[in-house]
A = this chain, B = another copy of it.
Amino acid sequence: MSLAKENVVTSTPHSTALETASAYHRAWTSGDLDGAFAYVADDITCRAPGGDITGKEAYRSYLGGFSQMMTGLTDVAAFGEDEHALLFHNPRTAVTSTAPAAEHFTIRDGKIVESRLVFDRLSFGPPPQP
């Protein structure tokens, strides 16, 4: 999987929430799920399209499935302040390279306790059958 950066804008030179979210993001998007999940709280809630995912184990299974579909990723923007960070990026899969995803993180004591995740499931779905 290759990573690309495209006019990434990063505000707040010192936001520990953004540092944590960025470290998590770099890890899982480069295939290092163990590294990524060092930044995830045991009782994380991920508010994902279609339903909430509760707990580190369920979230790891969900994210692991998504990461296997990814062939690359283009970061677009990353911001953070206090307890929150907000990332916007274009994952690439076999189906799309232009559909974005955004993640809003709440981070406490260096761990992600909530992720609000948005992407368009239809854009990432399987291509129509011929």
Contact = CB atoms under 8 A, between A and B. Distances in A.
Main secondary structure of the interface of A (DSSP, over half): strand
Contacts of A101: 118
30 contacts: A7-B84, A9-B82, A9-B83, A10-B81, A11-B79, A11-B81, A12-B12, A47-B98, A49-B122, A50-B120, A76-B104, A77-B84, A77-B86, A88-B102, A88-B104, A88-B116, A88-B118, A100-B102, A100-B104, A100-B116, A100-B118, A101-B118, A102-B102, A102-B104, A118-B120, A119-B120, A120-B121, A120-B122, A121-B121, A122-B122
Interface of A: 7, 9-12, 15, 47, 49-50, 76-77, 79-84, 86, 88, 98-102, 104, 116, 118-123
Which 6 pairs show the lowest CB-CB distances between chains A and B? Answer: A102-B102, A79-B79, A49-B120, A100-B118, A11-B81, A11-B11
Contacts of A102: 86, 88, 100, 102, 104, 118
**What is the oligomeric copy number?**
2
A122 B82 CA distance: 32
Nearest to A125: B122
